[in-house]
Structure formats: C-alpha cells, structure tokens
Structure 1
Amino acid sequence: MELELRHLKTVRAIAEAGSLTRAATVLGLAQPALSAQLRRIERALGGELFERGRHGVRATPLGELVLERARIVLPAVTELQQEAVRFARARAGREAERLRLGATHGPLLGALVDLLAAAAPDVQVSTQASWSERELATLLAEGRLDFAVTGACGTAAPPDSEHLAWEEFAVDPVFVMLADDHPLARTCEVELAKLADEEWACVPGDGCFADCFTAACARAGFAPGRMYETDIASCVHLVQVGRAVGLCRATFPTTPGLTTRPLAGTPLLWRHLLGWHPATQHTGTADTVLAQVRRAHSAVAARSDSYADWLAGGGRTSSTLP
C-alpha cells in the first residue's frame, strides 16, 4: 500500500482524539474499520504508530516522527490547493456567472436562492447543505464554495476566521419544539426548568452549541436527559410522536403537529453568519449576497408564526441584540 494524504490525516486524527473510539466518531467511521485502516498504515510505514492502553493511545517514537512530518506536509498541501484555486480563478477573470452556496439552514438557503434567482436570473446557483460548520469553512478555503450560510451560538468564533471573511447578518433566540398536545404547547413561553424530565432532539453540529445548552440547563437546575442528534426530518418526527422535545432556531417554519415556543429569558442565542474567502470574491458580489441573505432571513422569520408573535409581544429583534 502506498501512503496517501488521507492516511496522514487519519494518523493525525487519532493522535488529536487520544483514542480510536473518539477518532472514529470524528472521522465518521466504525471503530473496527478505523483499527483495520491503522494496521494497514502501520504495515506500510514499518511499525506501530501508537501504543494502545486502557486510557487511549499514545504515539510511539515512529508515530511521533510521522506526526511531525504530517504537521508540515498537510498544511503545505492545503495551502497549495487553495492558492492554485485562487490563481486559476483570478487568471480566468471569472465574474459571478455562477454562485456555489453552502448552508446549515435549509429554509434560509432556499429563501436566499429564490431571492438571488429573482435578482440575477442569468446567474447559475448551486447549493450544498451540511450540518458541519467546519466542513463548509473547509470548502470555502479550498475554493469549492463561494459563500456559506452558517452560524454560531453565543459569542463563539466562526471556523477558520483567520483566513475567511465572516459577516453576522442576524441573531435569533433558540426556541423549543413541542408536540401540539404537549402540556406546555399553549404557553406563551417555556421555562427551561419545566423541561427537566424530557428527552431532547436537535440537528448535530461541530460548534459549541451542545456545551452551551448543557450550561443553560445547569443554570436552570438540572442536567439534560438523552439527546437525539439527527436530521431535521427525524427531529420533527421525534417531537410529533412525543419521544422528545426539540431545539430549533426561532425561524423554524410553522409545521403541522408541532408548536415552537420561546424559552423564557432567552438562555440561548444563534448568530447567523455569511462566510466567503476574501481572495476569491469581489467586494461588490459579497455585498450583494449579504444584502440578499438579510432579506432571506426576514422572509423566513415572517413565515414562523411563533417568532412573529414573540416579536410582536416585545421580543427584541435581531437588529437590536448585542
């Protein structure tokens, strides 16, 4: 077997995670598959790269040598790829005849595509959805996306903010999704503490939202129960059948069988962000997309009855939040 870049990335992921179990989760692999892949890499390199123990793995001297080289090779290859993409785009003098958009928020992405199609009918728009903010940031850095619509909770920094441009275009409260027949579904707002005995559902992410949610529950006097991290359709189903209550952005659209309600005191906030690589986008294009995504957010928010009611009842709009 010849050594490839993906093998170095695997070795790095194992070292950073400190265990095969955690590394398998990060890489989206089953642990047996990762173990088998590591054995093949070790055979190709002539020896064991990690010592296995009860508390995880530790790099051997050979492993340290490989990791040291990987820390040089991987960033260099990534930088080469990014520079090549930027050079090719600048060389071709490409204008905005097409836009490649990525997003973690389906309704907002749909509204943005609609507005861009109306404003620039000659522009070809393609989209890519992902639950991972980091994946979208990587695609931006590699020149495989032009813009990404994603977000962060609280004051967390967006991914790769050193190299990418990020502009906050809205801040929303996080709401809770309840089945229509849930005892709290008819209340104007829900005290987080009253959900202490519930199981939860939300869309996965690789930011700090899970930690922020756990901290909010701790402030409310309890530790949250089981959390189902799954796609939005599955979250909706789990809430509709009463298996769990869900966490969602306030802009979540009105859905049959579901009620969304604000959490009292707004313990969790979601900052909507538009990202792009400043070396590959004209300022005018970025300004246009930013203006349209703000309009898209307003349109999506208006379609959420519970959010509109909350705002009408005195909730602060995103333009007045810090």
Structure 2
Amino acid sequence: MDLEMRHLRIVNAVAEAGSVTKAATRLGLPQPSLTAQLKRIERSLGGPLFERDRNGARPTPLGEMVLSRARVLLPAVRDLQEDAVRFANASVELTGYRLGATHGPILGGLVERLTAAQPGTPVTTRTSWSSRELTALVAAGRLDYALVGACGDSPPPAGDAMSWSTVGTDPVFALLGEEHPLAGESELELSQLADECWALTPGDGCFSDCFAASCSRAGFVPTSIYETDVATCLHLVRVGRAVALCQATFQLTSGLVMMPLAGAPLRWRHLLGWHGDSVASRLAPVVAAYARAAYADAIGRSARYSEWLTTNPQYGTVA
C-alpha cells in the first residue's frame, strides 16, 4: 500500500485524540473502519504506531518518528492547497466581489455601492457569526473581503498574509424594551442594569470576557445570560425578559430603545480584511472607501448615536 496524506491525517488524529474511538468520532468514521485502516497503515510502515489499551493509544517510538514527519507535511500540504487557490484566483482579473460579513451595519450598504458603481460585476455575500471562519475563507482564496468586528483594542482574527483596515469604531449601547423603567433616561450607568437578565449573540472573539470584566468593574456579576440568535435576543428585550448590548449603529425596530452607557465601557471596531497577495488587494482601498461610506450612512440613520457623537468625536468613521 502506498502511503497517502489521508493516512497521515489518520495517524495524527489518533495521536491528538488519544484513542482510536475518539479519533473515529472526530473523523466521522465508524470505529471498526478506522481500526482496520490504522492496521493497514502500520503494516505499510513496518510496525505498530501506537500502544493501545483500555486507557487509550500512545505513540510507539516508530509512531513518534512518523508523527514528527506528519506534523511537518500536513501543514505544508494545506498551505500548498491554499496558495494554489490564491494563485489561480490572482492569475485573472477580479470579475466579481465575494464578500463575507458577520452581522453588522455595513454589508448592505457596501453591496449597494458596488453594484451601483459596477452594474455588470456580480457581487456575492456570505454571513457567519464566526470572524475566524470568514478570515480563513479569505486566507484560502474563497472570499475576497471580510467585514468583521473586534472588541476594544483586540487584534483582528489571525490569518496568513491578511491585511486589515478599520472602517469605524462604535460604542456599545444597551438595548431595552420601550416599557422598561429606565427607558426614559438619557444615559445609563452599567451598574443600573445589575439585576437584569442579558441576551447576547454568539461570537468567537473576546467580547464576552470584556463584558464580564466591565460588569465586574461596575460591581456586579451578570445573573443570567441567554446566548442565542439576533431575533430571539430582540424578542426577549421587547417583552421585558432581558436587556441586550448592541453596536450604536443598530437599526431600531418597534418596541425597543437604545441607551448609551456612561463612559462607553465597551467598544466595537468594524474591520475590512483581505489577503495581501490576492488580486482583491489592489481594489481594497476602493472597497474600504465604500465600506466607510456605508458605515457613515448607518450612523446617520441613528439619531441617538449621531447626537452622542457630538460630544464623543473619537468614535465613528475613520478618515
């Protein structure tokens, strides 16, 4: 049997999982099938790669040698595949815009501007709550640009040769139902919401940790947090079962009130990312300018945010 990359992936999976059973689950294979494949791999390599007992699987000396080589080869092959995709995409002119975005105020306006400026150029979109997923798709050449967010001063998602431009920075406001006792205030201290339940959308950055730290500085620990989708968050807020946090550019719907938090304890940066070696990098300044214009429009649609910016000019669009 000739050794293939998939065989090395199996060996690596068993080593990382610490057992054949767990590796089979991760790989989506029946355990007997993975065991049979591992035996064939071991025969082709001249001996057992793992010592297996009821406590799991541990690499033998031969297994350690094979793993040391596999851990070099597997990333190298993955990089080769990603570089090939980028090369293929960069070898021709950009014939369309493939945009990825987390939920935010910019994507719609960006699509509007791109399609108006270049009516014959297709624009496709993909959304995800995961900034890391979108960044990986750009790094792999499957998206041209990613619109993501980053909490405070935290760095953007890691990605090989990624370039990032800040589109704008929002304070994080509180979202209350219009019947909430505090809905008539002009500004809230975070501590005034200490007894509330909270509704938050998922994310893979540090926002949850930053939120917890801000609550701690305000003297409380959130008692109950519902992590769920945007629609459910808004429903829970509207009916008075929770309060939520939102970017100041959030577009209000009926039954909701957006409240500034004193001192802006939380911030959210809007970022546009692209791969520095792709053909999309040549058009990045133009796309970034469109993104900033779309963001400025989102600010203009929020009377409360626009008013707040008159005394907090360090927020908003980036020149």
How many residues align? The count is 299
Give the Å deviation of 1:51. Answer: 9.2
Gapped regions of structure 1 (runs ≥ 5):
24-31
Who is 2:172 aligned against? 174
Who is 2:226 aligned against? 228
Counterpart check, 1:61 vs 2:59: yes
Who is 2:267 aligned against? 269
Who is 1:251 aligned against? 249
Question: Residues 135-146 of structure 1: matches in 2 within 5 Å?
Answer: 135-146=133-144
Who is 1:310 aligned against? 308
Who is 1:203 aligned against? 201
Show CA shifts across 1:29-56 (max 9, x none).
xxx9659859468624358899999xxx
**TM-score normalised by L of structure 1:** 0.81
Measured in 1, the distance between the counterparts of 2:82 and 2:110 equals 26
2:293 is paired with a residue whose SS is: helix
Structure 1 runs of 4+ aligned residues shifted over 4 Å read 2-15, 32-42, 46-53, 62-70
Give the Å deviation of 1:259. Answer: 0.8
Measured in 2, the distance between the counterparts of 1:50 and 1:261 equals 59
Answer yes or no: is the 8 Å Cα contact 1:173–1:249 preserved in 2.
Answer: yes
Give the Å deviation of 1:102. Answer: 0.3
Who is 1:89 aligned against? 89
Question: Residues 9-20 of structure 1: matches in 2 within 5 Å?
Answer: none
Measured in 1, the distance between the counterparts of 2:218 and 2:52 equals 43
Answer yes or no: is the 8 Å Cα contact 2:82–2:140 preserved in 1.
Answer: yes
2:313 counterpart letter in structure 1: R
Who is 2:121 aligned against? 123
Could you tell which deviates more after superposition, 60-69 or 183-192?
A: 60-69
Give the Å deviation of 1:145. Answer: 0.3
Could you tell which deviates more after superposition, 146-155 or 231-240?
A: 231-240
Give the Å deviation of 1:311. Answer: 2.0
Say if 1:308 and 1:83 are closer, same or farther in 2 by CA, change over 3 A: same
1:298 is paired with a residue whose SS is: helix
2:232 is paired with a residue whose SS is: helix
1:315 counterpart letter in structure 2: N
Could you tell which deviates more after superposition, 202-211 or 37-46?
A: 37-46
2:249 counterpart letter in structure 1: T
Q: CA-atom RMSD, angstroms?
A: 3.3
1:182 is paired with a residue whose SS is: coil
Task: Report the identity percentage.
Answer: 49
1:318 counterpart letter in structure 2: Y
Answer yes or no: is the 8 Å Cα contact 2:175–2:256 preserved in 1.
Answer: yes
**TM-score normalised by L of structure 2:** 0.82
1:117 is paired with a residue whose SS is: helix
Gapped regions of structure 2 (runs ≥ 5):
40-48
Counterpart check, 1:78 vs 2:69: no
Show CA shifts across 1:135-181 (max 9, x none).
00100011000000001011111112552001111111011111111
Say if 1:33 and 1:188 are closer, same or farther in 2 by CA, change over 3 A: farther
Show CA shifts across 1:56-101 (max 9, x none).
xx9733697786555334422321122111221233x22x320000
Counterpart check, 1:186 vs 2:189: no
Give the Å deviation of 1:283. Answer: 4.6
Answer yes or no: is the 8 Å Cα contact 2:167–2:288 preserved in 1.
Answer: yes
Who is 2:46 aligned against? none
Could you tell which deviates more after superposition, 142-151 or 36-45?
A: 36-45
Measured in 2, the distance between the counterparts of 1:13 and 1:252 equals 42
Give the Å deviation of 1:192. Answer: 0.7
Answer yes or no: is the 8 Å Cα contact 1:101–1:125 preserved in 2.
Answer: yes
Measured in 2, the distance between the counterparts of 1:165 and 1:128 equals 19
Structure with the greater alpha carbon radius of gyration: 2
Measured in 2, the distance between the counterparts of 1:164 and 1:85 equals 15
